[in-house]
Structure 1
Amino acid sequence: MPLSTTHRTGLVDQVIEQLREAIRSGEWPLGERIPTECTLVADLGVGRNTVREAVRALAHSGLLEVRQGDGTYVRATSEVSGAIRRLAGTELREVLQVRKPLEIEGARLAADARTDDDLTRMRELLDARDKAWADGRLDEYVRIDAAFHQATIDAAHNTVLTELYRGLTEVVVASVAATTQLDVPEPAPTGHHGLLDALADRDAERAADEVCAFFDELATRA
């Protein structure tokens, strides 16, 4: 990474924080295997038990997944996301039920608080998303669509809401991918242009209605 050597007080807590930061910063990407126990022991200058306890704590919080005989993998980028993943699992309907009220309120707030830069960012994302779809680059489509949803929340300029929604990043991406597959064999991208128009007009209720209709339509297919 490299990891910095720890002090001799609160070793487990220090190791937990360093491992958490490696995950949060992307040095250890989502879905990738982390360094071996031996490597961590050498890099940190602590004992095996300290490393094991730190890994166990992060696995319990949902950030890591220990696979016996294979290694330890990054499962989520935050404790919030890890908790949601444990609760929701692969139940798409549950994920949509959590996202819906957050995004409805986010749209209402964004209609009042959005800036011109926010609108420009969202338009760029929609254009890139539609092009990815037209080109058949579905993985990129999913990533950009999820980024559009985050950009809508960001436009509300509510720090608590933004951080809460950012904690759902993995389940949002997974649910976008899942809902995309619901349209096969001839899928069509679900449009967000009506929402963008409502935000441009600063029409909070129309923006909320656009989001509500979007999730209600998904719920009929989930």
Structure 2
Amino acid sequence: MPLVTTTRTGLVDQVIAQMRELVASGEWPLGQRIPPEAELVNALSVGRNTVREAVRALSHAGLLEVRQGDGTFVRATSELSGAVSRLCDSELRQVLEVRRALEVESARLAASARTEADIADLEVALRDRDAALAERDRERVVRTDSHFHLRLMEASHNPVLVQLYQGISEAVQSSVATTFDPEVPPERAVSHTELFEAVRDGQPERAAAEAGGFLDELLAEFEPEHP
């Protein structure tokens, strides 16, 4: 999506809206630096103060991160995700707890609401995840594992649950990357086969138990120490 020249009214709001869309669409990818201020000024035909105010607003919302001397980077793809990222940056356990709450319920609902198309998509997502685990490719594991869980959310056919999960997608991916150990042989890695089978076979309680089981194991590893 190319930047377009703004009109004279509501300049800051217009710039914010364009930048937000560039982030949401992926044209400005997560973790990447956005164009420098001078380039944005020229592309938008606005003053530096307008660009700076828009960047400041999106930084406050959590979508952008200004790194002095290094530029401005995409921090999150939505305000909700940005807020979650700020809250959970240093608390992996909190992210895992939120994941458990959402993923257990999505698995339970998916086992009752899934369609044949959902089952087919989940099977492909699971196969991709297992292939990534076999290769011990961290980046691919993060991507495919997150995609499997998102498809599980979508199979619940609860749009609110899906939107909530999408809102914490960056935090979810970060938790997967942090807990993935490439030294663990694929056959000992967490398997989602039984979770998939429970959903496929229409067994809500079994699906919920499978979804919560591996997260409970991870949570046990990060149990806070008490003096």
Smaller-chain TM-score bracket:
over 0.9
**What TM-score comes out, normalization by structure 2 length?**
0.93
Return the alpha-carbon distance in structure 1 between the equivalents of residues 209 and 30 of structure 2: 34
Aligned length: 221
Residues 173 and 129 from structure 1, CA distance in 2 versus in 1: closer, same or farther, beyond 3 angstroms?
same
Q: Output one character per residue of 1:15-38: Cα deviation in whole Å (capped at 9) or x when no partner.
A: 101000000001101111101111
Gapped regions of structure 1 (runs ≥ 5) = none
Return the alpha-carbon distance in structure 1 between the equivalents of residues 109 and 132 of structure 2: 29
Return the alpha-carbon distance in structure 1 between the equivalents of residues 72 and 2 of structure 2: 18
State the match for 1:53 in structure 2.
53
Return the alpha-carbon distance in structure 2 between the equivalents of residues 38 and 122 of structure 1: 45
State the match for 1:22 in structure 2.
22
Q: Describe the SS at the equivalent of 1:8.
A: coil
**What TM-score comes out, normalization by structure 1 length?**
0.95
Distance apart, 1:220 and its partner CA: 1.5
Return the alpha-carbon distance in structure 1 between the equivalents of residues 113 and 184 of structure 2: 39
Q: Describe the SS at the equivalent of 1:220.
A: helix
State the match for 1:143 in structure 2.
143
State the match for 1:193 in structure 2.
193
Distance apart, 1:112 and its partner CA: 1.4
Q: Describe the SS at the equivalent of 2:164.
A: helix
Which letter does structure 2 place at the counterpart of 1:168?
I
Contact between 1:104 and 1:208, CA under 8 Å: does it hold in 2?
yes
Contact between 1:130 and 1:189, CA under 8 Å: does it hold in 2?
no
State the match for 1:74 in structure 2.
74
4+ runs deviating over 4 angstroms: 183-187
Return the alpha-carbon distance in structure 2 between the equivalents of residues 124 and 137 of structure 1: 18
Distance apart, 1:66 and its partner CA: 0.3
Which letter does structure 2 place at the counterpart of 1:51?
V
Distance apart, 1:147 and its partner CA: 0.5
Contact between 1:75 and 1:82, CA under 8 Å: does it hold in 2?
yes
Return the alpha-carbon distance in structure 1 between the equivalents of residues 85 and 135 of structure 2: 31
Distance apart, 1:135 and its partner CA: 2.1
Distance apart, 1:90 and its partner CA: 2.8
Q: Output one character per residue of 1:167-200: Cα deviation in whole Å (capped at 9) or x when no partner.
A: 111111111111113x746573211111111111
Return the alpha-carbon distance in structure 2 between the equivalents of residues 75 and 169 of structure 1: 12
Return the alpha-carbon distance in structure 1 between the equivalents of residues 142 and 2 of structure 2: 32
State the match for 1:44 in structure 2.
44
State the match for 1:84 in structure 2.
84
Q: Describe the SS at the equivalent of 2:221.
A: coil
Residues 95 and 37 from structure 1, CA distance in 2 versus in 1: closer, same or farther, beyond 3 angstroms?
same
Q: Percent identity?
A: 56
Q: Output one character per residue of 1:36-69: Cα deviation in whole Å (capped at 9) or x when no partner.
A: 1111111111111111000000000111000111
- CA-atom RMSD, angstroms? 1.4
State the match for 2:113 in structure 1.
113
Return the alpha-carbon distance in structure 1 between the equivalents of residues 103 and 130 of structure 2: 21
Q: Describe the SS at the equivalent of 1:73.
A: strand
Return the alpha-carbon distance in structure 2 between the equivalents of residues 9 and 105 of structure 1: 46
Contact between 1:28 and 1:74, CA under 8 Å: does it hold in 2?
yes
Return the alpha-carbon distance in structure 2 between the equivalents of residues 47 and 167 of structure 1: 32
State the match for 1:214 in structure 2.
214
Residues 110-189 of structure 1 correspond to what in structure 2 (within 5 A)?
110-181=110-181, 184=183, 188-189=188-189
